[in-house]
């Protein structure tokens, strides 16, 4: 065993011995509902946690006027007042390297709640699983960040470089009031780790655009339905055309890191469908809301052209749609793609720490969803995502694997020691 591995053993033992406490802390955090836009109470909890480590803690509401001018800003539908980001700073000294450990506190809706085996806000641990909305995505990552630093400090290892803990808002809407706001206020470092779910080293994600398709039909009374034109049926042609486009793009667009992780590189998802407003009226309108991902090298304008062309082609095969063309409306929300060079010293150092700690060859992959790591290049920071494993993220019976929370915490502690350096108190 190398000397640097020997010195880490007391830290690893501390984390193992704190397993019950870590589970209890995570459970307490899961019990605080923190839907996007309603993060305040959970952030008070994170503020208290950070304060117990003697960190310099800042509660910071996003400055809308500042963040909206940034190229990577995505508009939020919520007011920022009373929804602070919580930042805890353990000051180090240059030239030692610094590190940001980041995670988002907001979670998605737990509906349909009736289908959960355990209440989604209970935070119940059963065997190696801790259930609850946000347990895996990503309150477990936030707790791993916290206990990684706590383990070092309480075993007498003081980081030589600055370590910054960030608990941020509204990542789930991919908006800019969380991580982007923190970075714009100067809470940056020589590297960024976001502990999103999945204990693989994620170094890329696609761009994401959003759009709506509207189809107009002709309303009529149900008793005279034959005189109307049902927009639902007409929209079905558009739906089929978009599914066909999705399948074609999956064949034509290949990105090995995405395929390694998800088996596919890009997706066109039809997320919502609305039509009509009365059961006894022929539906005079129909709408689809869609999410479209694209590879980092793809032109957004070209991707949009493909969508427009697919919808136009569907309309050309139908007399009504030729006379009443479907409308494609592009939302302002747009997530820029992100790529991190795999041979960056930050990535190599993290992989070395993870491999050594877990006694395994940890995969380097790409994610097929957007993450806050995309902000890092604007601040000259290398970044990765790496966090605990779990299942049913955004679904019923979401859970995190407790063993992976412990393992992730060890990896983070080991990497702080390697990257920032430590001094024995």
**pLDDT digit string, tens, across residues 188-231:** 999 999 999 999 999 999 999 999 999 999 999 999 999 999 99
Q: Where are the alpha helices (DSSP H) in 337-378?
A: 345-358
Q: Which residues contact 395 (CB under 8 A, 6 or more apart)?
A: none
274 close to 215: Cβ distance less than 8 angstroms: no
b/e per residue 124-147 (b: at least 16 CB within 10 A): bbeeebbbbbbbbbbbbbbbbbbb
Instruction: Give the number of other CB atoms < 10 A from CB of residue 236.
Output: 15
**pLDDT digit string, tens, across residues 77-130:** 899 999 999 999 999 998 999 999 999 999 999 999 999 999 999 999 999 999
In this prediction, residue 144 carries a pLDDT of 98
Max CA-CA distance within the chain? 84
In this prediction, residue 75 carries a pLDDT of 83
Query: Would you mind telling me the total number of residues written for the chain in this entry?
Result: 425
Domains located in the chain, CATH noted: 3-204+338-424 (3.40.630.10), 207-335 (3.30.70.360)
In this prediction, residue 3 carries a pLDDT of 66
In this prediction, residue 98 carries a pLDDT of 98
Of the candidates 415, 216, 219, 425, which has an alpha carbon nearest to the alpha carbon of residue 327? 216
Give the whole-angstrom CA distance, residue 166 versus residue 182.
8
Cα–Cα distances (Å) from 242 to 212, 238, 322, 379, 390, in that order, read 12, 6, 17, 37, 31
Structure tokens at 161: 């470089």
The ranges of the chain with pLDDT < 50 are 1
Give the whole-angstrom CA distance, residue 291 versus residue 268.
6
In this prediction, residue 167 carries a pLDDT of 98
In this prediction, residue 99 carries a pLDDT of 98
Of the candidates 115, 162, 121, 167, which has an alpha carbon nearest to the alpha carbon of residue 141? 167
């Amino acid at each position: 065993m190398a000397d640097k591995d020997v010195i880490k053993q007391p830290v690893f033992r501390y984390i193992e011995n704190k397993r019950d406490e870590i589970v209890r802390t995570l459970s307490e955090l899961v019990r605080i509902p923190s839907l996007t836009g309603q993060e305040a109470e959970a952030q008070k909890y994170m503020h208290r946690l950070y304060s117990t480590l003697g960190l310099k803690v800042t509660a910071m509401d996003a400055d809308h006027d500042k963040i909206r001018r940034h190229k990577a800003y995505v508009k939020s539908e919520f007011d920022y007042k009373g929804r602070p980001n919580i930042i805890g700073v353990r000051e180090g000294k240059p030239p030692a390297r610094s590190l940001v450990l980041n995670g988002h506190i907001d979670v998605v809706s737990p509906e349909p709640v009736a289908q959960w085996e355990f209440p989604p806000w209970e935070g119940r641990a059963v065997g190696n699983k801790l259930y609850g909305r946000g347990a895996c995505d990503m309150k477990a990552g936030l707790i791993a960040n916290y206990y990684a630093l706590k383990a070092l400090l309480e075993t007498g290892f003081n980081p030589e470089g600055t370590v910054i803990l960030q608990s941020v808002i509204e990542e789930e809407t991919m908006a800019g009031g969380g991580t982007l706001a923190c970075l714009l206020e100067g809470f940056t470092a020589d590297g960024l780790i976001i502990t999103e779910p999945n204990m693989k080293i994620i170094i890329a994600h696609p761009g994401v655009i959003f759009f709506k398709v509207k189809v107009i039909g002709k309303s009529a009374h149900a008793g005279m339905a034959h005189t109307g034109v049902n927009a639902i049926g007409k929209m079905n042609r558009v739906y089929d055309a978009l599914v066909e486009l999705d399948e074609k793009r999956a064949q034509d667009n290949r990105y090995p890191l995405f395929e390694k992780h998800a088996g596919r590189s890009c997706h066109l998802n039809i997320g919502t469908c609305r039509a009509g407003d009365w059961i006894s009226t022929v539906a005079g309108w129909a709408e689809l809301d869609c999410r479209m991902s694209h590879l980092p090298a793809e032109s957004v304008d070209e991707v949009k052209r493909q969508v427009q062309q697919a919808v136009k082609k569907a309309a050309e095969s139908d007399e009504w749609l030729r006379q009443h063309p479907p409308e494609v409306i592009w939302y302002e929300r747009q997530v820029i793609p992100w790529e991190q060079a795999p041979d960056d010293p930050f990535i190599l150092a993290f992989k070395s720490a993870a491999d050594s700690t877990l006694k395994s060859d940890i995969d380097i992959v790409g994610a097929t969803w957007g993450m806050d790591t995309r902000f890092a290049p604007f601040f000259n920071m290398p970044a990765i995502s790496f966090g605990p494993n779990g299942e049913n993220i955004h679904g019923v019976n979401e859970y995190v694997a407790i063993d992976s929370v412990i393992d992730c915490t060890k990896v983070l502690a080991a990497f702080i020691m390697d990257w920032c350096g430590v001094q024995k108190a």
